[in-house]
Amino acid sequence: MDLNAYVHPIVEFVRAHAAWAPAVVFLLAFGESLAFVSLLLPAWAALVAIGALAQAGGVSFWPVWVAASIGAALGDWLSYWIGLKLEYSVQHMWPLSRHPNLIPRGEAFVKKWGVLGIFIGRFFGPLRASVPLVAGIFEMPYWRFQFANFASAFVWAAVLLTLGDGINKAFGYFWG
């Protein structure tokens, strides 16, 4: 299934049922940030498209932004917790077992950047799936992780949702 075939029905559902937008973006952001699911669910594209709807006035921006932010933070928190509990055995589980370089890349990244890596990793697809997991495996201090996790989640959600607005305005300017 191509990306458009996945994104279009979600966006159309949100357009028709704006009251469900916060719940939909919460689930999308949660899935996009959860270690195993993020490898299978390209939710970022739907979040950008829903951001275009929000900025065009079809959906209220603030509840969508907060819901996406909290969903992303909780997805990373759960990934961190899984890393704490399962440690290195997690890299042998599907779908991570199909991406054997993901955990070592995340490990190198966390060792190099520390808590700042949590913030940076949120913005890069493959790292988004592994950095919180690795932070849990290495038992990064809980409150340091959570501070970076929640701060990056709110920035990440704002960037994706406003990116949709920028794309929408560019299309309107050049082709409207």
Mean pLDDT, the chain, integer: 85
What's the pLDDT score for residue 96? 67
Per-residue confidence (pLDDT) for residue 153, from 0 to 100: 96
Cα 28 to Cα 7, 69, 139, distances in angstroms = 11, 11, 27
Question: Any idea how long the chain is?
Answer: 176
Task: Find the range with the poorest average confidence among 36-40, 101-105, 133-137.
Answer: 36-40
- Among 9-13, 47-51, 86-90, name the one with the lowest average pLDDT: 86-90
Tokens describing residue 6: 């996945």
- Rounded to two decimals, the pTM is 0.86
In the predicted model, is pLDDT for residue 172 greater than 70?
no
> Is the pLDDT reported for residue 26 higher than 70?
yes
- Asked whether the predicted pLDDT for residue 139 surpasses 70, the reply is yes
Q: Are the C-beta atoms of residues 20 and 14 closer than 8 Å to each other?
A: yes
- Averaged over 106-135, what is the pLDDT? 84
Q: Is the pLDDT of residue 1 over 60?
A: no
Cβ-proximal residues to 29 (8 Å cutoff; 6+ apart), any chain: 43, 47, 67, 68, 69, 70, 71, 72, 75, 153, 157
Domain ranges for the chain, please list them.
3-175
The answer, yes or no, to whether residue 150 has pLDDT greater than 90, is: yes
Which helix (H) or strand (E) covers residue 11, if one does?
Answer: helix 3-16
In this prediction, residue 21 carries a pLDDT of 94
More confident residue, 8 or 98: 8
65-111, pLDDT tens digit by residue?
999 999 999 999 999 999 988 876 777 776 667 777 777 777 788 88
Mind spelling out the 3-state secondary structure of 101-114?
Answer: CHHHHHHHHHHHHC
